[in-house]
Amino acid sequence: MLAVLAACSSAPSKPEPKDYPGLPADAVRLQRLWKVSVGDGLDKDHVRLAPAVTEQHVAAASRDGVLLLAGRDDGKPVWKRETGLAITASPAAAYGSVLVGTAKGELVAFAQADGKELWRSTLGAPAMAAPAISADMVVTLTADGIVHALARESGEVRWTYNTLVPPLSLHANASPLIAEGRVFVATSSGKVAALDLATGAEQWEVRAASNNGRSELERMNDIVANLLLVDRNELYSVGYQSQLTFTDVDAGRRRWQYDTSSVNDIAEGLGNVYVTDVDGNVLAVDRDSGDLAWKQPDFAWRVLTNPVVLSNLVVVGDDEGRVHLLAQSDGAVRGRARIGGKPLVTLAVRDDVLYAWDVKGRLTAWKLR
């Protein structure tokens, strides 16, 4: 322990970020539509809680157990519940249900209509990522590496699938992804698997993230960011200390990899995949070739959120409560807006509306002016 502490104390300090770049004369601006608060937000705990944006609603949860369903157009609460749960997994909302995972290893379902608890199922380990929901099934991945498929209406377990969890990991999971009768799962060991939704049978498994580190710490390559499926056949994943990977879903094999390190969700647009890496760079990687299209380094050493695509822009948030609007074509800075004074956790876009979520549980909606 003393050796580790000594090594940490002698390590070079993190570089200071540069001043924000200047804005063009015709800078793009945002207009706030509404704001709502949800409990204590992350409550100083390192959990990945992101709102779920549906066609009509936004579901958001705080670490201290407050669960909110609000109208997507006006932000007015449909209902708000103090559940008393230690929520560790982002809410998922679909097919009339809102689901959350807890630190006690429970998956709990609430009715979208009135917030009434429908069922709860004990999983045996905490769920750290939002579950995936289909018409008749709910699929979640717990911290012990087990994929659980449950009946959507009752919470009864249908099947389980085990994945490997390394001795050292980031203790976070990407959410399962359901598409066309399959479940795609990313693991803490850097693999992506395709499972049959009805039975849990494995169809293929691909090594999507790897590195050549000498120590357990250097070999960590968790896939924490959620998977991105484009045009039904293109599955993109990004890992910590590893790669951005394009996996052919039909063939079950890798097409290309680009070396990077990220724990944030990725986005797609204009033929590129957009990544914010752990050093605060914004990258655009060509979907066809896997080559770097452009790199925006002006936000290095700032803690950036996931990138999202808004109109012809790529938007990222930072740890000072600002969002930065970049041109999709070349990454040039096109605008900037102050969302609040607290670090932003995640961004989402639906129907040209930007949703921003900060560490204190403030959820705001914005549109381009």
12 band by pLDDT with thresholds 50, 70 and 90: low
44 band by pLDDT with thresholds 50, 70 and 90: low
C-alpha distances (whole Å) from 153 to each of 2, 97, 138, 149 are 52, 9, 9, 12
Q: Which two tokens stand for residue 63?
A: 């670490």
Model-level pTM?
0.93
Residue 219 has pLDDT above 80, yes or no: no
Give pLDDT, residue 215: 78
Give pLDDT, residue 6: 40
Residues 53-98 have pLDDT tens digits of: 999 999 999 999 999 999 999 999 999 999 999 999 999 999 999 9
Q: Which of 35-44, 47-56, 347-356 has the lowest mean pLDDT?
A: 35-44
Give pLDDT, residue 166: 76
Residue 305 has pLDDT above 60, yes or no: yes
Q: Give the mean pLDDT of the chain.
A: 93
Residue 1 has pLDDT above 60, yes or no: no
Residue 75: count other Cβ atoms within 10 Å of its Cβ.
Answer: 17
Q: Distance between CA 43 and CA 45 in Å, rounded?
A: 5
The residue type found at 85 is: L
Residue 2 has pLDDT above 50, yes or no: no
Residues 321-346 have pLDDT tens digits of: 999 999 999 999 999 999 988 999 99
CATH class of residue range 39-162: mainly beta
Give pLDDT, residue 4: 41
Name every residue whose Cβ is closer than 8 Å to that of residue 103 and which is 6 or more positions away in sequence: 86, 87, 88, 126
Instruction: Locate the domains of the chain by residue range.
Output: 39-162
Q: Distance between CA 145 and CA 141 in Å, rounded?
A: 6
103 band by pLDDT with thresholds 50, 70 and 90: very high
116 band by pLDDT with thresholds 50, 70 and 90: very high
In the chain, how many H helices and how many E strands? 1, 32
